[in-house]
Amino acid sequence: MLDVRRLRLLRDLSHLGTIAAVAEAHTYTPSAVSQQLAALQREAGVALLERAGRRVTLTPTGEALVRHAEVVLAALEAADATLAAARGGLSGTVRIGAYPSAVRTLLLPALVALGRDHPALDLMVTELDPVAVPDALRDRRLDVALVHDYDIVPVEPDPALDSVPLLDETVFLAVGADRHPTDDPMRSVRDADWIVGSPGTLCHAVTLHAGELAGFRPTVRHHADDFAAVLALVAAGQGVGLVPQLAVDRPPSGVVLIPLTIRRRTRIAYRQGAGGHPAVAASIVALRAAASDLPGAELAGSCRPASSAAGQRGR
């Protein structure tokens, strides 16, 4: 019978790419991980890893084993959830992660409601970029997280994670008041300077892709991840940028917001199997309530969506 701890290391290796990263995630030394994976391979009787330059990659068999590992870990997570439910009374720590603009608008009211309804619950919030969320959930640094993607830049689901839809927002093109929007707003700003997110973020990718769809390559002038900063730069005449609805509750003067067809979709993600955990379930309820109280943006998905929804995979 295979050792689940070792399977977990293999699973994490397939996501993190290097033994050193797996070691760090588990607060082990790389040596320990290397030894454990070697032992797993020995008892498997098949090659699971192979050196690829100075790193290791999984063989097809290794990848197949990872898929089984995901099932095992999800089942263990579900077992944990039933135990938490049996312990009764919502208690313990819930670590919630969210991207910056969601913290202010969505998370804060949800947090207040959760703290009021379940005083025994210890709530911890972490602000982080959506691309870092899957790893953080897998490594158990987070229990629940808000993630998003754009319809024109969808992210593939992560087998280790489950999620439910939360919000579906309009994305706006923010331009200076001197510009005159036309029927095709994106084309009208093809020669403008652009304010985009840092490379590697979704906000960066979506701007480039939106330009591509409109037939041009945006000229990147400024990098800003905070949408308030983006709007301020636009107001100062420094260029144009894309901002989602959540971020534009009070746009500065001198900025014109033109709705595009692009949608940003926010989801609540958690570890596969943890959906039955009472604290996770309560968090989902509170977040959905907070989202429905939000002006403007419409609630996404059905009221209680099925579990087969998708998580998101980093990188």
Partner DNA sequence: GTCAAGCATCAGCTCAGCTTACGTATTCTG
Partner DNA sequence: CAGAATACGTAAGCTGAGCTGATGCTTGAC
Binding pattern for the stretch 7-46 against its own copies, x by CB under 8 A and - elsewhere = xx-----------------------------------xxx
Q: Is 243 helix (H, G, I), strand (E, B) or coil?
A: strand
DSSP 240: B
Q: Which is nearer to DNA, 39 or 112 (CB)?
A: 39
Establish if 37 lies at the interface with DNA (CB under 7 A).
yes
Establish if 213 lies at the interface with its own copies (CB under 8 A).
no
Q: Is the dihedral of CA 213, 214, 215, 218 positive or negative?
A: negative
Establish if 42 lies at the interface with DNA (CB under 7 A).
no
Residue 32 near which of its own copies, DNA, none (CB within 5-8 Å, type-dependent) = DNA
Interacting residue with DNA among 1, 4, 11, 20 (CB under 7 A): 20
Span near its own copies by CB under 8 A; candidates 76-84, 201-209, 251-259, 261-269: 76-84
Rounded Cα–Cα distance for residues 206 and 85 (Å):
40
Beta bridge partners of 96: 125, 144
Rounded Cα–Cα distance for residues 194 and 210 (Å):
12
Establish if 57 lies at the interface with its own copies (CB under 8 A).
no
Shortest Å distance, C-beta 32 to DNA: 3
Residues sharing a CB contact under 8 Å with residue 44, sequence separation 6 or more, in sequence order: 2, 61, 65
Report CA 270 to chain centroid distance, whole Å: 10
Span near DNA by CB under 7 A; candidates 21-29, 93-101, 166-174, 252-260: 21-29
Residue 51 near which of DNA, its own copies, none (CB within 5-8 Å, type-dependent) = DNA
269-288 as b/e: b if 16+ CB within 10 A: bbbbbbbbbbbbbbbbebbb
Q: What is the DSSP string of 78-108?
A: HHHHHHHHHH-SS-EEEEEEE-HHHIIIIIH
Establish if 52 lies at the interface with its own copies (CB under 8 A).
no
Q: Which is nearer to DNA, 20 or 285 (CB)?
A: 20
Q: Which is nearer to its own copies, 69 or 231 (CB)?
A: 69
Q: Which is nearer to its own copies, 262 or 274 (CB)?
A: 274
Report the site for DNA in 124-143 (rule: CB under 7 A): none
Q: Which is nearer to DNA, 56 or 167 (CB)?
A: 56
CB atoms within 10 A of CB 23: 21
Binding pattern for the stretch 84-123 against its own copies, x by CB under 8 A and - elsewhere = --xx------------------------------------
In 54-192, the DSSP E strands lie at 55-58, 92-98, 121-127, 144-150, 161-176
Q: Which residue has the tokens 């419409």?
A: 298
Residue 236 near which of its own copies, DNA, none (CB within 5-8 Å, type-dependent) = none
Angle, alpha carbons 313-114-168 (nearest 5°): 45
Tokens of 191: 């020669």
Report CA 278 to chain centroid distance, whole Å: 21
Establish if 109 lies at the interface with DNA (CB under 7 A).
no
Residue 46 near which of DNA, its own copies, none (CB within 5-8 Å, type-dependent) = its own copies
Residues that bind its own copies (CB under 8 A): 1-2, 4, 7-8, 44-46, 61, 64-65, 68-69, 71-73, 75-76, 78-80, 82-83, 86-87
Residues that bind DNA (CB under 7 A): 3, 5, 18-20, 27-32, 34-39, 49, 51, 53-56
